[in-house]
């Protein structure tokens, strides 16, 4: 349908998992996509496959914890494609398996730096360009861990709860200037971050049993919700937090 025809999307963490699925789907829907991440070879593989499918894509390796990279990727987006229409803040890392009193400062600081401060920096860099263009859309990939309590994940869950609050504040700050901001909160999804759990049937079975639909989600399923929020189909939607979790948080 080419619902993003003429749009330019910047996707952080675009080399694997949900970010990769978003990049591929957006390209199919007509957007030029810029993907970032720490592993250049993985980014270039995704870009190559998009281009072979006659899409337009650019890889810019780096980390959202580096302000110079953040400024550079926005500048390269503008230089290559002329504008920035959509920002998908997807880059994140996980920290699971330790109670709060077992969590060290390094883990806490790294979670905040990537999952929350990185989103702040990318959004701060993108917003001025969207203001110049008369509007834009931002979608933050959060987690159900920001909506309900999970054991042994205090640092990670805190960043996702903060991201949901950040989403609402950005939406309020820029609604009158035509910039919309929403968040999606996936449950357990078949991504590299979840592979350790999902590949261990003994551990995975009781977790999956808590999901009414009885399975993990797929990156493509999350990407389609992100597509809706990034497209003009959701023109009256901003400041909203969308669980996509197989019914987990409906219980």
Catalytic amino acids? 156
Helix (H, G, I), strand (E, B) or coil at 232: helix
Within 10 Å of residue 75's Cβ, how many Cβ atoms? 13
Cα distance between residue 40 and residue 9, in whole Å: 18
Q: What tokens appear for 95 in the block? A: 């920290």
Query: Directed axis angle between helix 40-52 and helix 17-28, to 10°?
Result: 20
SS3 content of the chain, % helix, strand, coil (to 5): 55, 15, 30
Within 10 Å of residue 200's Cβ, how many Cβ atoms? 11
Task: Please state, in angstroms and as integers, the Cα–Cα distance from residue 70 to each residue in 37, 73, 207, following that order.
Answer: 11, 5, 36
């Amino acid at each position: 349908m080419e619902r993003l025809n003429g749009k330019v999307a910047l996707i952080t963490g675009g080399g694997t998992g949900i970010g990769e699925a978003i990049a591929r789907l957006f390209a199919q829907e007509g957007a030029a996509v810029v993907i970032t991440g720490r592993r250049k070879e993985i980014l270039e593989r995704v870009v190559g496959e998009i281009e072979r499918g006659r899409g337009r894509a650019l890889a810019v390796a780096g980390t959202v914890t580096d302000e110079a990279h953040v400024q550079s990727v926005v500048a390269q987006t503008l230089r290559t494609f002329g504008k920035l229409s959509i920002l998908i803040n997807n880059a994140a890392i996980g920290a699971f398996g330790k109670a709060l009193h077992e969590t060290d400062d390094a883990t806490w600081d790294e979670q905040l730096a990537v999952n929350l401060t990185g989103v702040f920096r990318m959004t701060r860099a993108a917003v001025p360009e969207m203001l110049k263009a008369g509007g834009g859309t931002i979608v933050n990939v959060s987690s159900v861990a920001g909506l309900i309590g999970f054991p042994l994940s205090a640092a990670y869950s805190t960043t996702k709860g903060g991201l949901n609050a950040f989403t609402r504040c950005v939406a309020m700050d820029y609604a009158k200037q035509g910039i919309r901001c929403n968040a999606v909160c996936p449950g357990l999804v078949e991504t590299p971050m979840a592979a350790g759990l999902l590949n261990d049937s003994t551990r995975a079975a009781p977790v999956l049993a808590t999901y009414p639909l009885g399975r993990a989600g797929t990156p493509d399923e999350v990407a389609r919700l992100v597509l809706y929020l990034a497209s003009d189909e959701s023109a009256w939607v901003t400041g909203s937090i969308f669980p996509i979790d197989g019914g987990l948080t409906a219980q």
